[in-house]
Structure 1
Amino acid sequence: MSTRMKRPAFPIGAVDAQRVEDALSLLWPKWTAWSAMTLAQENHPMRIRDVAAQLPFVSEQLIGKRLATMRADGLVTRDDDRRGAPYRLSTLGKSLAPVFHTLSDWSHAYLPLGQMAGAERVEDALRRLHHRHSTAVIQLLDAGGPMRYAHIAEEAGLSNSLSGQQLSRLQAAGLITRTGPRHGDPYTLTDAGQALGAVYATVEHWSEPVTMFKTSPSPVRVAAATRTHTNVPLTGDGARTAAALRRSAAAPNDLFSHAPQPQLRVSAAVTARSAPGRGR
């Protein structure tokens, strides 16, 4: 019987870290997922005030700024530039469904967050993953096993201070941990960090048309990412993440099928943090 370890279904090291982080930089700003999911749920063009009415814990002014940024990034569109003209999801925005599904499934499986709205869970996952150079650090630890601080900094090409910031953020996000209690003990991936292969693969696959959205945006088919690894045995975490991708691909326009409760039931913590910003 062979003792050779099986490769994961979606190898973390197989993705382009820069491309993944460029895509995450479009999605992580707070209220981006909320706004996209609101437009998808309502399924018709919406004015800023109509989106804000569905998100009463966010100011109308902030929603307007977020939608303007999303339009510049190609996630939403509007028919003209008249003041008050409604927004709708672009083709690129609609193709976010597999990304949101996979982020939510990963969060449900590995982060002990309890019950929360689907968009809140997606935004929490994006907050943990979006920092520049963090994907490269995750890839290093996945490929090289436990590594000390100085080795990570050297291999990632980061200054000691920047490397320290990244490691602190990844620890706080629950993606890495030290192998012992001492300050110099090596870092290693947590179960949540080890399971990021499918998340990265889905984000990378979605990002393919991002640079072309102004001329010819097209939906992303996550099934193609699944086909890329069809010859790799699926076990454990790989089987769960592969199944998540298949479920997402089966219903690309349904952003809410994975939510265990109505979308806009948000936690008291989110409402408390956001309510003071309701300026109007």
Structure 2
Amino acid sequence: MPETVAADLSRVTESLQMLAPRWNVWVLMTLAEQPLRYSDIKTRLPWLVDGQLHPKLRKLTDAGMVERTALDRRNVLYGLSARGKAVLPVLPELAHWGRTHLEKDTAPDAVTGQRVPKAVPQAQDIEDTLTLLSPRHATAILWTLQVRGASSAKAIAASVMPDSSLSVIYQPLQRLAEDGLITRDRHRDGHVELTAAGRNLAPVYRALSAWAAGRPPAEAGDHPVWGLAPVPSPATTAGPGVWLTTQPRHPAPAPRPTQTAWKPGDMFSHTTPARPITPAPAGGRTR
């Protein structure tokens, strides 16, 4: 890749590592409207005990996304920094991709009796999308395929991990294939290429790139790799989205009622309770 593109990829990868840890997005969205005391944050995220919440706040503060203001010895406020506020326009892109492409559990409709997708908290859509993009080499492989088109595993390895043996590339390729982001072209000696879902990550990566570089969201469309419009995805018109290979995440407790349109502070896009914790069904993995 050109040096400027490689630097952009490095910034985006680092940004994903900051956002991807579990519950980080929930904390950021909780603080989106106004600074809160620790006790207020804990009330809004009751499933996070002190041993989980405090380290999250400390790491987000160290990353420059959260500001800690001590008003006095026993009165401390946590709020989003300028960098934390700047990431808020990125979150709807992550949520939209997850809502469109990730398979959801189903349940009988109370009126028709037909099975319909269960409601998923919007913050969980964001987290699940980040789970696909944050593993080591995942984003670098997707960017390489976007630049090169259909490529062999050897060519991808030479671009993504030139100092490693060829065998190292197969595990991340397998994971991305199971997640439905890449596919093998059997007519081209096993070359792999992006699926429609993989190409539809363009708005996500454009938004992440702009935020990572400190540019305003209005400049997100001008990108040397992901600047083209995404292709229509079959997942939007027929059948469920792709499977997710990671272990199912434990959903949060029942959400508070909110508006259906996303705005800073809204973690939930539905008013129905979150899904129960159930094992993955036979035949494939869900989120």
- Judge same fold: TM > 0.5, yes or no: yes
Kindly provide the amino acid, as one letter, of the partner of residue 260 in structure 1. S
Query: In the alignment, what sits opposite 1:268?
Result: 276
Match of 1:152 in 2: 156
Q: How many residues align?
A: 227
Distance 1:118 1:75, change over 3 A: same
Correspondence 1:94-109 to 2 at 5 A: 94-109=85-100
Structure 1 or 2: more strand by fraction: 2
Structure 1 residues 60 and 233 mapped into 2: Cα distance closer, same or farther (>3 Å)? closer
C-alpha RMSD of matched pairs (Å): 3.1
2:69/2:76 contact within 8 Å kept: yes
Shift of 1:59: 1.8
Q: Structure 2 residue aligned with 1:88, among 59, 79, 84?
A: 79
Q: Which residue of 1 aligns with 2:37?
A: 47
Per the alignment, residue 129 of structure 1 pairs with 133
Larger RCO (alpha carbons 8 Å, 6+ apart): 1
Cα separation, partners in 2 of 1:83 and 1:74, compared to 1, 3 Å = farther
Q: Residue 145 of structure 2: which of 138, 141, 144 is its match?
A: 141
Cα shift at 1:187: 1.9
**What's the CA shift for 1:228?**
6.6
Task: Report the TM-score, using the length of structure 1 for normalisation.
Answer: 0.70
Residue ranges of structure 1 left out of the alignment (5+ in a row): 1-12, 210-219, 239-252, 271-280
Corresponding residue number in structure 2 for 1:72: 62
Say if 1:235 and 1:173 are closer, same or farther in 2 by CA, change over 3 A: closer
Q: Residues 233 and 52 of structure 1: is their aligned pair in 2 closer, same or farther, counting only changes over 3 Å?
A: closer
Offset at 1:67?
0.7
One of 204, 210, 217 as aligned partner of 1:222: 217
Identity of aligned residues (%): 30
Give the whole-Å Cα distance in 1 for the aligned partners of 2:222 and 2:191: 35
CA distance 1:233–1:36, shift in 2 (3 Å): closer
- Over 3 Å counting, the alpha-carbon distance change for 1:234 and 1:33 in structure 2 is closer
1:170–1:236 distance in 2 versus 1, CA, 3 Å? closer
**Deviation of the 1:91 alpha carbon:** 1.6
Structure 2-normalised TM-score? 0.68
Distance 1:122 1:138, change over 3 A: same
Structure 2: how far apart are the matches of 1:137 and 1:49?
Answer: 42
Query: Superposed, which structure 2 residues align to 1:244-263 within 5 Å?
Result: 254-255=263-264, 260-262=269-271
Determine the C-alpha separation between the residues in 2 that align with 1:128 and 1:227: 24
Partner of 1:162: 168
Shift of 1:233: 7.6
Structure 2 matches for 1:169-248, cutoff 5 A?
A: 169-180=175-186, 185-209=190-214, 221-226=216-221, 236-237=231-232
**Change in CA separation of 1:82 and 1:29 when aligned onto 2, cut-off 3 Å:** farther
Q: Deviations over 1:100-136 (max 9, x none)?
A: 0111112222223343101111011111111232222
- Which structure features the higher share of helix residues? 1
In the alignment, the residues of structure 2 paired with residue 136 and residue 85 of structure 1 have an alpha-carbon distance, to the nearest angstrom, of 40
SS of aligned partner of 2:220: helix
C-alpha separation between the residues in 2 aligned to 1:233 and 1:208?
19
In 1, the alpha carbon distance for the partners of 2:177 and 2:228 equals: 30
User: Distance in 2 between the 1:54 and 1:109 partners?
Assistant: 27
Whole-angstrom CA distance in 2 between matches of 1:23 and 1:88: 19
Q: Do 2:29 and 2:267's aligned partners in 1 also have CA atoms closer than 8 Å?
A: no
Distance in 2 (CA, whole Å) between partners of 1:59 and 1:71 is 18
Looking at structure 2, the residues matched to 117 and 98 of structure 1 have their Cα atoms a distance apart, in angstroms, of: 17
